Chain A
């Protein structure tokens, strides 16, 4: 009796972490089914969408089925946690971990802080922004303003999401502030190509994880999850575009 509940717990915990931090749907379903099968349960079925997971399996032969679901509200991007859960499930399936050890490891993963501290992420956003502003046709003088503008947009994005918890509004505000910073810097004589600097300041906001996952989900037959992820990516891009459109029509 106890074992089935424990296995259900680790399955749903693993699935919740993976889906929350940006794994593809097929990976979540496959991992959960593998864990449950490795724990010698039969008739395992898993259905995952972008916002929830259903899992059911037979506890004893032909009676007492177990079925649970979890709802996932947050969707963040931390591919490191996905990799770690993947590793735990691989070890569990290979029989190197007991149910209890797996549960401890998964709890540790879900409570672990981010792999990189926030200031490193902001700095990385700056480097990414200035790099792409150069690649999209900017000059050497555009590197510094694009760096600053990208850091501003990354800062606004993270801080707004932390306090307001409104989806898409954070991207909108971040694009607006990044664009305004870029226009201001160029106005005061720092940097030459305004367009490239603005593009650079927007690059850290690109919804890379939902976009790639949408393609992947659609191709592996998870039509529901694929379409919803695609809609999420589209809405994020629209929020960014309208934010930058607002700043351009006001200040330019």
Chain B
């Protein structure tokens, strides 16, 4: 029940974020749905006691993969779907507590929260990168050697 309420709120909040970023109208509800699934996966991971960073990475990967797939289908730039999709993962709460601890002079707690924030942000980025790697086989730029020459 709690999860259902959270999912509905995530949907509304993600669609609202889509409006803030002025996402095209036909992509608004899809972006909201992706955000909802993302939140569901994150909470599912936390429920089965996967660490928050890993859950975030998995949720981010699934959000980015879905947005890449759907963006090809309805022919819009991936960002229009991916940005609302990963927004529920943004570690806003931890970032705030980092700042709060530093303001209150509690540097150790601040560092702890700060490291958690950085790791979670890194997890979001890694999910995006993996999805990108999946969807850009054969294009993109080479690296180090030229084996096909």
Contact = CB atoms under 8 A, between A and B. Distances in A.
Given A24-B79, A78-B22, A209-B79, A136 B92 contact: yes
B79 A23 contact: yes
Contacts of B102: 245
How would you classify the secondary structure of chain A's contact residues: helix, strand, loop or mixed?
A: helix
B12 A83 contact: no
Given A22-B79, A124-B19, A136 B100 contact: no
Given A80-B23, A208-B87, A249-B103, A221 B141 contact: yes
Q: How large is the interface on A (under 10, 10 to 19, 20 to 34, 35 or more residues)?
A: 35 or more
Nearest to A244: B99
A79 B22 contact: yes
How would you classify the secondary structure of chain B's contact residues: helix, strand, loop or mixed?
A: helix
A90 interface: yes
Interface of A: 22-24, 27, 77-84, 86-87, 90, 114-116, 120-121, 124-128, 130-132, 134-137, 154, 195-196, 198-199, 202-204, 206, 208-209, 212-213, 215-216, 219-221, 237, 241, 244-245, 248-249
28 contacts: A22-B79, A23-B79, A24-B79, A27-B77, A77-B21, A79-B23, A79-B79, A79-B83, A80-B24, A82-B79, A83-B24, A83-B80, A90-B75, A115-B25, A116-B22, A131-B9, A131-B12, A134-B9, A135-B9, A135-B88, A195-B96, A203-B90, A206-B87, A208-B83, A209-B83, A212-B82, A219-B132, A219-B133
